[in-house]
Structure 1
Amino acid sequence: MSTVSKYASALFLAPIIGLSHPVIAFESSHIPMTPARWQVNGEVSFQHDRSKQDVLFVNKGYAELKNTNFSNGTIEFDTKFVGERITGITFRQHDDEADALYFRPSADCAVSDECIQYMPTAHHVFEWDLYGKDQTHAPINLQGWNHIKLVLSGARMNVFINGARAPTMTIGTLVGGFPDGSIRLHGPASYAHLSIAPNIVDGLPAVASTDPAEVDLRYVRHWLASKPFVMPSRMDATLQENTGIDPVYSSMPQATALWKPIAPDPGGLINLTRWYGDAQTGPGITGIWLKTTIDADYDQIKHVDIGWTREVWLFVNGKLAFQSKNLYGIKGASKEPGGRLSLTNGSFDLPLKKGANQVVVAIDDNFAGGQQHWGWGLEMRLANTDGIRPAAGAAAAVP
C-alpha cells in the first residue's frame, strides 16, 4: 500500500482515541442558536430576528458547538455575510486542525472561481494558497441570507448553495487530518437555522477519489526535510519587502539524523504547513531544506514545472539551477494564479549527469515579513521520466 493510501486509511477508517469532545446522538437535527449550546471565542453575540428566530452573530473569532463529535452526514445552515469580508465553517475540528469551507462573498461570486474554497487548517494556519484547485464560483446573495448545505461522507464532500440541485462544489479528498471532530462557525457573519443529520450522505461514496499524482512518476514525491531554521533576511529596495538572503549550499545540514522523510498530500504537494506550521515566533523568516535523489541513465536535461509559496532556491549536484519568489500581494514577486501554489508558478531546465544526482531545495515561509502565515509548500513535476529513476524514499509518519 502506498504512503498516501496508508494515510487515507488512517485518516478515514481508523478509530480516534482520546477525543476531547464526547460523542452525542442528535435526537433532533435542529441546533438552537443559544448560549447553552455554544462555546464562544472572540466577539460573539446571540440575537433574535423575527424572520430567522434565534441568530448567532460572530464578529471576530468563532463559536464552537458544545459536546459534539461529528463525522459523516449533512450540515445545513443559513448565513448572512458582513459585506465582502471573508468567513467560513470548520468541521472535524481537533484543537488547531480541521477541514474548512471558506467564503469570499463578492458581487461577482456567480462567475468568480474564488467565491468559495475548501482547504485544511493546521497549526492554526488557513492553507488557502496551497489548495487553489479546490475553489469555485457560487450563487451567493451578498445582501441577504444564504442557505448552505454540506454533505460529508468519509473522504468526500459535496456543497450546495442556495438550493442548487447539483453540487456547487465537489471535493474528492478531504485532507484535514481527522475523520470526526467538532464544528465551528467563524466570523464575521450571522448564522441561523443550523441542522445536523448524522449519516445522511445522499449516496455520496466515502472512499477518496483517485489521485493521479500518486501513480504519475513525473511528480517528485519523496523528499527528506531538515529541521526549520531562521533564514537570514534583508530589505529588498525594489520590492520594499523583507526577503531571504540567498542561502549557501554548504550551509545545508550534513548530519543524517537531522533529515526526516516527509509524505506528500494528494497532488504530490509537499505541505510544509501540515508538518511545521509557521515554525517560528517573532518577525523572522523560517527556512527549510528539502533533498531527494534522481538517478539518470545518461547525461541529460529535464524540463521541470514547479509550484511553491514564498521563496525558493533549487540546487542540483551543488549548483544553483533555479531561484524565484512567489510572495502573495507583492507586485513583481507574486506568481499567477494570484500568489497561490500551482505548477504554473515557474519552470526551468534541470541538468542531470549519468548516475545519482542530488536535488536540494531551500524554501522559506516569508509572508509579509513573517508577521502572518498561510499555506507553505512545494510541488515539482518532471516533463517525463525517460532515462531516470526518482528516489523511492521511506514512508513518513503522519505528524
Structure 2
Amino acid sequence: MYAIERTQPHHVVFVCSEASRALVREYIRLANLGPERHEVLTLEDPDDLVLVYEQVSAALHRLRSRWPEASVVVDYTAGTKSMSCATAMAAVDCEDDKVTLRLVHGQRGEGSTVVPGTETHRPVQRIHDIRARRRLASLRGALARYDYVAAGAGIEEIICSDVSSQLAERCRPIRDLCRAFDAWDRWELQTARQLFTAYRSYPAGRQPAFERLTVLEQLAVVAEAARGGADLAAARDPYVAVEDLLLNAERRATQGRYDDAVARVYRALELLAQLRLRIAYGVDTADVDPGKLPEQARGRIDGDPEGEPRKLGLWRAWEVLAAYPNEPLAAWFAESRDRLWDFLAVRNQSILAHGVTAVSRREWEGKGQAALDLCRVALQRLSEAKVRKPLRHMQFPRDELLDGVSDGA
C-alpha cells in the first residue's frame, strides 16, 4: 500500500500467487482502484524464477504497448525471493528508460520486516547503468566484426541516455575511437588523425593511440605524394601503406566481404610495386619516362608514345621492377609468379574487377590469403635488405576496445 500511496499510479498491475489473491483484493479496496485502473497477474508458480520472469516480462510488454509514453514504476519489495528477483530482472531487461525500479526501504524490526512509519519508497539508483553495460556487452559482436559504425552508434545511444556521468565519460573515448577507426577504414585520414590526436595517450586496443597516429601521418604522406605534394623518399616508412591495405583486407574477410578483401590485396601488391619504383628509381607508373627503365624492360610500357602518358599496370610494373639489377624484390617476384597469377585469375573474375561472380570463402582462403601472405613476405624482404625500417602497425582492435567499460571497471 505504501508504494501505491507514494506514486499515485494511473494503473496498477498486482503480481501475486494464488494464495495472496485475498490480500490483493484488500489492497484494491483500500486504494479505491476501479476495474479500469488495475489488473491482477496470478503467477502459475511463485517459486519458479524463469516462469515468473516470463510472465512479468509479458505484462511489462503489454503495458508499454498500451501506454508507450507513460512511466512505469516496478516495485519488487514483496513476494517470494524468486518473485522479487524475476521482477527486477524483467524490469532491467525491458531496455526502456521509462521503466524504473523502486523498493520500499525502512528500519528493520522483528522478522526483518520494515517497521511501519519508517518506510521510504526509493528508486534503485543507476539502473540505466546496468542496462547500458548489457548493451555494451551486446556491442562486442559488432566490434568482433570490425563494425565500428554499429558499435559507435550503440555507444552514442548509451551516452545520450540517463546513465551516470561516470559511465558516460568512460564510454565517450570508446565512441570517438570507433569513429576514428571507421574513418580510417574509409581512408578519411584527416578525420582519423584529428580524433586520434585528441586521444594520443589512450590505449586504442593492443597498440596505443600515439603509435597509430604515427602510422596515420605516414599514410597521409603517401596520399599527398600521390597528388604531387610530398616527397616519398623523405618519408619514414611509406611502405606501411601496403601493410595498411593488407590489414584492411583481413578485416573485410572477417566480415565475409571476400570481393572487397581481394580488391585490397590486389591494390596492396600494385601499390608495393608503385612505391618501390617511385622511391628507388624515380619511376611514376602513371606517366613513365622510358629513359629511367632498364633497357630490356622498355617494351613493357602501355600507352601511346605520341599522345597518352605511358603507364604500367600491376603485372608489368612488377616485371619492370624485377629487371633492375640488384633489386631486393626481384627474386621474390620470380619465386611468386605462379601463385600471384593464380590470385589474379580469381581477382579478375570478381564483380569488383572484370567479372560477374562473387569471390567465395574457399577462393579467399585458397588464393586471396595466399597472395596476402606473399605480399607480407615481400615487405619482410625489404626490411631484410635494409631498404625499409618498418613502423609497428597492428590490426585494429575488436571487442577488447570495450575492456574496462562493460565489465564495470
What TM-score do you get using the length of structure 2 for normalisation? Answer: 0.23
More strand by share: 1
More helix by share: 2
- Higher-Rg member (1/2): 2
